[in-house]
Structure 1
Amino acid sequence: MAASLSLQLWQRADRHRRLLLVACQGYLVLMALYDAWVWASKAGRLPSIYLPIYGLYLVVGALEMQFVHIVWHLQQRYRLLNRLKTQRDRLKAGVKYEKIRAYSSNGNYTPNQQLLILHSLCDIHAELYDAVDAVNSAYGFQILVHTLSIFLHCIISPYFFLLNLLYPMTYGQTDPAFLSLQLMWILIHVSKLFLVVQPCSATCNEAKKTGSIVVKLLNVELQLPMKRQLEVFAMQLIHRNVEFSAFGFCNLDFPLIASIAGAVTTYLVILIQFQNSDTGSTPNNPAN
């Protein structure tokens, strides 16, 4: 009963995640259409060079959704792995996962069966680490380019938005539709950064919980074979640290967002100061 309920909750959460990814991709399509309409209304016709740009945005968005979907599934499997080790005070499999089977209907296991379950958990953790390593190898370079693109867009889009907002007489872009379009693109770039970093950070945090659980089990009075298997598991956790990286240049976690936010703020302040010196004006008070 518990296994069936957990499986239903997992499937429901997976459906919600898929709907969220489809909604994000649909939002990109709507933004591309809105952007095309704004530029076409201002220029009289849509520049043909914008069409491949819109197509590239959708392709990159699909790649990002695929990466996020895979990482979300890895997070769910680490969570199931931790549940298998923390259910009550014994190693009971409340949720079935690949090699792990319920050895008895009442949940009472012999020492040999518990040792076999623990050994299966070690194998599953090793396979999950190999899966994370495969994801880093397959998507590392793409995520690096994607992160650099988001970083540049997080500088360029707010810069031109602030120019049009603070210097309307100089740049002449006071159309609310144009300003709202720029603001929406800024929100999209920031959201795309969070969409990539959040599941990676959550998966790493879930993987780190495994070490805490193993340490707690080592402090429990167990038979010698179980102790030795837990020590082997602990050594495996030490040498296999789960991390997602952008081609090895930076780790995909929340400190990366803080670093990007600080760098973007610094560049924006410098660019606005240069703009003041070039135009000889201050915001909302243009020079004559």
Structure 2
Amino acid sequence: MFPPTRVQVISRVFLKIFHHILVAFSLRVSRLSRLILWLRFLSWTAWFTLVWTQSVIYAQLLECNMDCILRHVLTIFQTFSHAFIVVITFLEGFRAHREQTDEVVVFEDSDPWMALTALAMLVPIFAVEYLVCSNAPGYPHRVRFYHLRMLPSFLALQMQIISFILEVMKANIRVRQTKQQLKVLARELSSRWPQCKQRPDFLDQQIHRIRDLKRSYNELHNLFDRINGCFGGSLLIIIMVYFALFVCNSYWLFVDVRTSPDKFYAILLNLGFIFNVALQMSAACWHCQQSYNLGRQIGCLISKLVKPQGSKRYNDLVSEFSLQTLHQRFVVTAKDFFSLNLHLLSSMFAAVVTYLVILIQFMFAERSSRPNAG
């Protein structure tokens, strides 16, 4: 093999650093010892207990308007989602020690495109958090306290979905390689020169290549099943949290633009949160849609392998391969509740508009009910 280029070395180092960040947020096992697993789990448990206790105390002491209620709801959503992932990772760590199984997600790649994608998503995340920290003294106490409690969990959920996107990208690279091999085989069998390619004995000689492609396709389907098993539960809760974040930040953006257009940092901050959620959801749905489309394209290419002059064994194998692509689709789901594709993205944005209108109506109703309204 050729030695890696400088770009590949940098990409691999960056992806390894990103993997260690996932381990720190208790999103990956990475074959840690039992002592470290327990320490990490107890540390996050203490943090979640502190956040939930303070939320309950503040909810009882302070009189909450709709803005305060939305922040408490997002606090519960994000911390419970992160806590769920922490518990699952903790249990998987003990299962890996007991069964000596390999971890599903291992960042040993050196693909520059994957590293660039992760970097492109991390830059706006840290830019938004920089805005939060740099302008924290100017926020009201409730808003500053909300951002402080949400920072670890919010970062963890975003890191989780970025790692999911990278895993789907890595799977799509293998799918494209299989598709290219199938395209080469179909081109060879479609050629009418030399004439020996049209004889049944030549087609029988290509059976081993079709079997290899069929085996590769089955391995890819198992890979997508492993991705669904690893990320299915976390994807379900992250998409629910992202939906709530999109609606709430859109509502706060509308309120800031309407009531305080001079608060540039508040408007920019809400725009940053909306942009990050939209970017990550769009990237996840787009890459999952690419997986499905590539599987469909492989199924269409198999029809070019059918040859009337071939033997029965050859055509039966091609038919079996075609049926396999029909029943084994490259579909990424959130615990089979819904599939991640562009249709989900459009439906989610349509639902955001509906709930945003409902919140705006509640805002006007709340203000009109005040004694000094108007």
Tell me if TM exceeds 0.5: yes
Superposition pairs for residues 32-43 of structure 1, below 5 Å?
32-43=129-140
- TM-score after normalising by structure 1: 0.79
For 1:118 and 1:236, the matched residues in 2 are separated by 13
Residue 253 of structure 1 and its aligned partner are, at CA, apart by: 0.4
Q: For the structure 1 residues 217 and 112, does the alpha-carbon distance in structure 2 shift closer, same or farther, using more than 3 Å as the test?
A: closer
1:50 aligns with 2:150: no
Deviations 1:13-47 (A, max 9, x none): 93122122023123312211211222323359994
Q: Which of 352, 361, 365 does residue 264 from structure 1 map onto?
A: 352
Decide whether the 8 Å contact of 1:29 with 1:58 is kept in 2. no
Distance 2:156 2:300 in 1: 40
Residue of 209, 212, 221 corresponding to 1:117: 209
- Given that 1:154 and 1:189 are in contact with CA atoms closer than 8 Å, whether structure 2 keeps it comes out as yes
Alpha-carbon shift at residue 241 of structure 1 (Å): 2.1
Task: Provide, for residues 157-210 of structure 1, a one-character-per-residue CA deviation record: whole Å limited to 9, x for no partner.
Answer: 0011101212x1xxx573111111111111111111112111111111101111
Q: CA deviation at 1:52?
A: 4.5
What are the within-5 Å matches in structure 2 for residues 186-265 of structure 1? 186-218=274-306, 221-265=309-353
Query: Structure 1 residue aligned with 2:160, among 52, 55, 63?
Result: 63
Give the RMSD, CA atoms, in angstroms.
2.9
Equivalent in 181, 184, 187 of residue 84 of structure 1 = 181
* Contact 1:155 1:264 (8 Å CA) reproduced: yes
Q: TM-score, normalised by structure 2?
A: 0.62
Q: Equivalents in 2 of 1:154, 1:213: separation in Å? A: 40
Distance in 1 of aligned mates of 2:368 and 2:345 = 34
- Distance in 2 separating the partners of 1:81 and 1:174: 55
Identical counterparts, % of pairs: 20
Match in the other structure for 1:95: none
Q: Aligned runs of 1:173-188 on 2, under 5 Å?
A: 174-188=262-276
Q: List runs of 5+ in structure 1 lacking aligned partners.
A: 93-108
The alignment covers a number of residue pairs equal to 256
- The alignment status of 1:147 with 2:147, answered yes or no, reads no
- 1:18-33 pair list within 5 angstroms: 18-33=115-130
1:160 to 252, 261, 267: 252
Q: How does 1:128-147 map to 2 (within 5 A)?
A: 128-147=220-239
- CA–CA distance in structure 1, aligned partners of residues 329 and 165 of structure 2: 20
Distance in structure 2 (CA, Å) of the matches to 1:44 and 1:233 = 62
Deviation of 1:55 (Å): 2.0
Listed as ranges, the gaps of 5+ residues in structure 2 are: 12-109, 191-200
SS of equivalent to 1:241: coil
